[in-house]
Amino acid sequence: MGKPTGFMEFKRLTEGYAPVEQRVNNYREFVAHLSDAEAQQQGARCMDCGIPFCNNGCPVNNIIPDWNDLVYRGNWQQALEVLHSTNNFPEVTSRICPAPCEAACTLNINNDAVGIKSIEHAIIDKGGENGWVLPQPAKKKTGKKVAIVGSGPAGLAAAQQLARAGHAVTVFEKNSRIGGLMRYGIPDFKLDKRLLDWRMAQLAAEGVQFQTNTFVGKEAPGKEVANDAQKTVSPQQLQNNFDAVILSGGSEQPRDLPVLGRQLKGVHFALEFLIPQNKEIAGDAKNPINVAGKHVVVIGGGDTGSDCVGTSNRQGAASITQIEVMPRAPEHENKALTWPYWPMKLRTSSSHDEGCERDWAIATQAFNGEKGVLKSISAVRVEFRDGKMAEVAGSEFELQADYVFLAMGFTHPLAQVLDAFGVEKDARGNAKANTEGTDCYHTNVKKVFAAGDMRRGQSLVVWAIREGRQCARAVDEFLMGSSLLPR
């Protein structure tokens, strides 16, 4: 513990944001990391708790008190080493993780949590700026080959761990660039894609091979799912040519809203808007959806919906309304009941701050149009009685809309991919595999493993990294009989 009185002396500092009127004019990141001195002071707020709840609340079990102390003492390089010992991609989590560690921090009970995420951000950015993040190729090769299907955080974390253990790893990705939803879901203004290229260069130098534009399976996905594939590889080919296969294809089937008028021009799944926007910024192709001067309604109150709000503002929408079927959550949690767990409370993102109307407890009844083009939506207020949703009589209303983005989550992974491998599914349609025990992450099909959203359902980047790392260890054990990779 750096400074025993630090938490009493120093207040929590939040990172600086570029003003709204500046940042909505472009797609660049707008959060500035803390200066060295600020981060050191924030590190001093950590109490080095006997039971560090932050470490337990973090899905990758980041060794937070240690790097807080190292930053306080100015030992940045060692802090970076400790950070990397549990997390392959801190440049991503330090930008877009909701930080369950901070909800779990002991200081959060009666004070403001330690600014863990902002300290992580300062550490990894300093590491990048100083060239401290170098490839760590394996000293000895095992001669074993592993195929990974899907290049999101789960697949990439597994790839890096397995390459460092000496295996020959090939990542197959149906889209044209590597990164999964980090590349094509999360907008540039939250995560600069140059960071992904930077990290991919490290993976490549460690021996990971990438095959993009390659779909693994038999039957291609429907048009609601992004697919740039120009080549198909069958499950049989992978099973014949590799010693183990990891399925980390994410949870890509979007939840639909099949009400009257769903087919109207202007009604889209959120990713039909967000993916082309990311591609446009990368210089690949223009986004066919442009909401400049248009009225936008986003249906769904989560991260994906908030990203549609931020992107619509940057395109210059005339109005943006985000509606959600669930009731409005309370502004503040009752910490006595929720700590150290992730509380249900109203979350207002930086995209919301940039301007949008938000409304809750609303169900969409129909999309209305003229000549096949969306003009408005019909909606009704709902209330929840005994856990059941009921419409409020007489509360029907209409909302002007030129575009609707459906951001209601994802139901399950692509069933045809799991079926093509003969992988058993759980009750929610995810790949079935345990995460505990001797043969964890192994599906019912020999040498086929599953991790990330494809196994656990739609989740977070930090959970995908955890699953990728743990799955890598399970695969290493399967191939070698034992493993030195961390769990």
Ligand X SMILES: Cc1cc2nc3c(=O)[nH]c(=O)nc-3n(C[C@H](O)[C@H](O)[C@H](O)COP(=O)(O)OP(=O)(O)OC[C@H]3O[C@@H](n4cnc5c(N)ncnc54)[C@H](O)[C@@H]3O)c2cc1C
Contacting residues toward ligand SF4, per CB under 6 A = 46-49, 52-54, 64-65, 68, 105-107, 114, 116
What is the nearest approach in angstroms of ligand SF4 to the Cβ of residue 65?
A: 4
Residue ranges in 453-472 that form contacts with ligand X under rule CB under 6 A: 453-454, 458-462, 464
Binds 114, which of ligand X, ligand SF4, none (CB < 5 to 8 A, cut-off by type)?
ligand SF4
Q: Which amino acid makes up residue 16?
A: G
Chain position carrying tokens 């049989």: 236
Strand partners, 254: 410
Residue with Cβ nearer ligand SF4 (106 or 160) = 106
State yes or no: residue 59 binds ligand X (CB under 6 A): no
Binds 115, which of ligand X, ligand SF4, none (CB < 5 to 8 A, cut-off by type)?
none
**Residue 9 is encoded by which pair of tokens?**
């002396």
Please name which of 137, 103, 97 lies closest in space to residue 117, comparing C-alpha atoms: 97
For 300-359, where are the E strands, in sequence order?
319-323, 357-359
Q: Which amino acid makes up residue 11?
A: K
Residue with Cβ nearer ligand SF4 (74 or 327) = 74
Residue ranges in 105-124 that form contacts with ligand X under rule CB under 6 A: none
d(CA 215, CA 198) in angstroms, rounded, equals: 24
* Three-state secondary-structure class, residue 486: coil
What is the nearest approach in angstroms of ligand X to the Cβ of residue 327?
A: 23
Binds 162, which of ligand X, ligand SF4, none (CB < 5 to 8 A, cut-off by type)?
none
Binding mask 183-222 for ligand X (x = CB under 6 A): --xx----------------------------xxx-----
Binds 106, which of ligand X, ligand SF4, none (CB < 5 to 8 A, cut-off by type)?
ligand SF4
Query: To 10 degrees, what angle do helices 116-129 and 64-72 make?
Result: 60
Binds 273, which of ligand SF4, ligand X, none (CB < 5 to 8 A, cut-off by type)?
none
What is the nearest approach in angstroms of ligand SF4 to the Cβ of residue 376?
A: 49
Residue ranges in 61-100 that form contacts with ligand X under rule CB under 6 A: 96-97
Binds 107, which of ligand SF4, ligand X, none (CB < 5 to 8 A, cut-off by type)?
ligand SF4
Please name which of 99, 21, 112, 92 lies closest in space to residue 54, comparing C-alpha atoms: 99
Residue with Cβ nearer ligand SF4 (103 or 362) = 103
Stretch that binds ligand X, among 9-17, 67-75, 152-160, 390-398 (CB under 6 A): 152-160
Please name which of 264, 265, 286, 267 lies closest in space to residue 275, comparing C-alpha atoms: 286
Please give the distance of CA 468 from its chain centroid, rounded to a whole number: 13
d(CA 423, CA 437) in angstroms, rounded, equals: 19
Binds 59, which of ligand SF4, ligand X, none (CB < 5 to 8 A, cut-off by type)?
none
**Residue 243 is encoded by which pair of tokens?**
């010693």
State the pairing for strand pair 214-216/397-400.
Answer: unpaired
Strand partners, 231: 214
**Residue 288 is encoded by which pair of tokens?**
């066919």
State yes or no: residue 169 binds ligand X (CB under 6 A): no
State yes or no: residue 261 binds ligand X (CB under 6 A): no
What is the nearest approach in angstroms of ligand SF4 to the Cβ of residue 1?
A: 8
Binds 185, which of ligand X, ligand SF4, none (CB < 5 to 8 A, cut-off by type)?
ligand X
Residue 218 DSSP class: S
Q: In the chain, what are the helix, strand and coil shares in percent, each to the nearest 5?
A: 35, 20, 45
State yes or no: residue 152 binds ligand X (CB under 6 A): yes
Range list of H helices, 327-482 = 335-338, 350-353, 415-421, 453-456, 461-480
Among 24, 64, 99, 149, binds ligand X (CB under 6 A): 149
C-beta of residue 403 within 8 angstroms of C-beta of residue 297: yes
Binding residues for ligand X, rule CB under 6 A, total: 40
What is the nearest approach in angstroms of ligand X to the Cβ of residue 460?
A: 3
Please name which of 41, 12, 40, 3 lies closest in space to residue 126, comparing C-alpha atoms: 40
Q: What is the largest CA-CA distance in the chain?
A: 71
Binding mask 417-456 for ligand X (x = CB under 6 A): x----------------------------------xxx--
* Interacting residues toward ligand X by CB under 6 A: 96-97, 149-155, 172-175, 180-182, 185-186, 215-217, 248-250, 252, 274, 303-304, 307, 414, 417, 452-454, 458-462, 464
